[in-house]
Amino acid sequence: MEKGIGAPSPELTPNQHVRPFVFHFLCSILLVSVVFPGCAAPGEPYERKPPTPMAITDLAAAQAGNDVDLTFTLPQQGVDRRALERLPAIEIYRDFAKPPEAGQANSAARANPTLLVTIPAAMEDRYTEQGHIHYADTLRGEDLAQHPDSVAIYTVRTEISEKKPSANSNFVSVRVYPAPDAIADLKTEVTHAAVVLTWTAPEKTLVGSTPAIAGYRIYRGESEPGATPQDMKMKSPLVTIAETQSPPYQDEQFMFGTAYVYSVRSVVEHSGEALESANSNLAMVTPRDTFPPGAPEGLLVVLVPRQGDTAAHLDLSWAINSETDIAGYNVYRGDQAGTQGTRWNTELLLTPAFRDMNVLPGHRYFYSVTAVDHAGNESPSSAIISGGVPAESQATP
Task: Please give the pLDDT value at position 109.
Answer: 67
Asked if 88 and 156 count as a contact pair (C-beta separation under 8 A), the reply is: no
Task: Please give the pLDDT value at position 111.
Answer: 77
Q: In 98-207, at which residue ranges do the beta strands (DSSP E only) sit?
A: 115-119, 128-129, 132-138, 150-159, 172-176, 187-190, 195-198, 204-205
With H, G, I as helix, E, B as strand and everything else as coil, classify residue 309: coil
Which H or E run includes 387? strand 385-389
Rounded distance, CA 377 to CA 318, Å? Answer: 19
CA 203-204-209 angle, 5° bins: 95
Task: Please name the amino acid found at residue 365.
Answer: Y
Asked if 109 and 93 count as a contact pair (C-beta separation under 8 A), the reply is: yes
Rounded distance, CA 234 to CA 381, Å? Answer: 42
With H, G, I as helix, E, B as strand and everything else as coil, classify residue 342: strand
With H, G, I as helix, E, B as strand and everything else as coil, classify residue 237: strand
Rounded distance, CA 387 to CA 314, Å? Answer: 7
What's 17's DSSP letter? H
Asked if 171 and 109 count as a contact pair (C-beta separation under 8 A), the reply is: yes
Task: Please give the pLDDT value at position 106.
Answer: 66
Q: Which residue, among 255, 325, 317, has the nearest Cα to 292 in the 3D structure?
A: 325
Rounded distance, CA 305 to CA 270, Å? Answer: 80
Number of alpha helices (DSSP H) and beta strands (DSSP E) in the chain:
2, 25
Predicted TM-score (pTM) of the model is 0.74
Asked if 356 and 273 count as a contact pair (C-beta separation under 8 A), the reply is: no
Task: Please give the pLDDT value at position 71.
Answer: 98
The widest CA-to-CA distance across the chain, in whole angstroms, is 175
With H, G, I as helix, E, B as strand and everything else as coil, classify residue 326: strand
Task: Please give the pLDDT value at position 55.
Answer: 97
Give average pLDDT by consecutive 10-residue segment, the chain, 397 residues.
Answer: 41 44 46 45 58 97 97 96 94 93 69 93 94 96 94 96 93 95 98 96 95 96 80 86 97 95 96 93 94 97 94 97 96 93 97 97 96 96 96 58
Task: Please give the pLDDT value at position 230.
Answer: 66
Task: Please give the pLDDT value at position 100.
Answer: 81
Domains in the chain (CATH in brackets) are 60-176 (2.60.40), 187-285 (2.60.40.10), 300-394 (2.60.40.10)
